[in-house]
Structure 1
Amino acid sequence: MPDLRTIEIDFDVHKIIELERSSFSETPNEVLRRLLKVNGASSAPKVVPDTNAGRPWAGKGVTLPHGTDLRMEYNGRRYTGTIDNGEWVVEGERFKSPSAAAGGVALTKDGKRTNLDGWIYWYAKRPGDTDWVSIKQLRR
């Protein structure tokens, strides 16, 4: 077992660590090791897109290419995913739409699933993009 030390951090730093967690099972120490690129850091499981398939996802006039990175924040937690072969893959689960993905992974403060309008919450970074863009803006 590693030699652990206690450190004091302010609430803003704590919030950032929580937002960077890739899952509820990832500890704050694992988050910091990953972000700081400390040797032996565990990497969060990331779904690798199937490069043989490559179908984009399309809905409501928006097309997101295969390999598009996805992220949303809800209730103090960041969720990440990718477009893989025409589907939203978030937290290891596959969804057909942004709302299904948002409602499928986001939890209320009571730990319950909720219905969310994913068009409000999700941001995308398409292959070749340098910035994140709200998918709601892409509908305009």
Structure 2
Amino acid sequence: MVANLDELKPKDPTRSFGDTIRRILFFEQEKLCAVCMKEVAFDDMEVHHITPHSQGGKTSLNNGAIVHKACHPKSEQEVSAFYEKWRLRKSYLHQKKMQDRGFSQPPEAGTDYEQDGVVIPHGTPAKMEYQNGEQVYEGRFEDGVLMVNGLAYSSLSSAANALAVTKNGKKTNLNGWLYWKVLLPGDDHWTPVRSLRDRAESKDQE
């Protein structure tokens, strides 16, 4: 019983995020809902405790994530899933803040991305254009996944369909290999990933 009491953390007496913190988070987190990664209006925004308030999470800048009211994680399962997603989102925001301030970060070792015989080095920039360039999305391959706006995608198609929408605003069903390009280390031009797959398939047939 004593051991369990020792593990309890006192709750922050302040439960709701104040207007100042809400506004800072709104701009720091690029006005994007941390759940669906769509733009959120300030009036439709709530701030989620990353470490739940019920578990001792503080009502502070370092423990807040902006979300749509409809996206706000409620259940234990939703809160747990959000926490895992937020770790990647937080890393992205930190790196972007450092770059905006003019600090360059040394390249870090990481796991390369592999799919259908294609290997893309960790840290490789990626770009996707849809509907003749009307929609452009940029990301980076990090630790074996494609990171875009702080969200991780395990395949090119899952990323393409999560990001792109039709002219009518509906979800797409795209083959990501046909849309993504990469800026490989040492290159000064973007290479379509489908050409990398074609090369890999040609080598397998030799």
The unaligned stretches of length 5 or more in structure 1 are 1-22, 26-45
Whole-angstrom distance in 2 between the partners of 1:50 and 1:82: 15
Task: Tell me the C-alpha RMSD between the 2 structures.
Answer: 2.5
- 1:54-109 deviations in Å (ceiling 9; x for gaps): 11100111111011110111121111100011100113321001111101111111
Q: TM-score, normalised by structure 2?
A: 0.43
Name the counterpart of 2:158: 100
- Give aligned-pair identity as a percent: 39
Structure (1/2) with the larger helix percentage:
2
The alignment partner of 1:83 has SS state of strand
Whole-angstrom distance in 2 between the partners of 1:91 and 1:50: 20
Whole-angstrom distance in 2 between the partners of 1:139 and 1:99: 14
Please list every run of at least 4 consecutive aligned residues from structure 1 whose deviation after the TM superposition is greater than 6 angstroms: none
1:62–1:123 CA distance, 2 compared to 1 (3 A): same
The alignment partner of 1:114 has SS state of coil
Q: Which of the numbers 107, 110, 135 marks the counterpart of 2:193?
A: 135
Q: Would you say 1:66 and 2:107 are equivalent positions?
A: no
Q: Is the 8 A contact 1:66 1:86 kept in 2?
A: yes
Q: Which of the numbers 99, 104, 121 marks the counterpart of 2:179?
A: 121
> Residue 129 of structure 1: CA displacement?
1.7
- 1:6-48 deviations in Å (ceiling 9; x for gaps): xxxxxxxxxxxxxxxxx986xxxxxxxxxxxxxxxxxxxx934
- 1:115-134 deviations in Å (ceiling 9; x for gaps): 11000000001222211100
The alignment partner of 1:66 has SS state of coil
Whole-angstrom distance in 2 between the partners of 1:50 and 1:116: 35
Instruction: Specify which structure has the bigger relative contact order, considering alpha-carbon pairs within 8 angstroms and separated by 6 or more residues.
Output: 1
The alignment partner of 2:119 has SS state of strand
Q: Would you say 1:85 and 2:143 are equivalent positions?
A: yes
1:112–1:91 CA distance, 2 compared to 1 (3 A): farther
Whole-angstrom distance in 2 between the partners of 1:53 and 1:100: 25
Across the two proteins, how many residue pairs are aligned to each other?
Answer: 98
| Structure number with bigger Rg | 2
The alignment partner of 1:139 has SS state of helix
Q: Is the 8 A contact 1:69 1:80 kept in 2?
A: yes
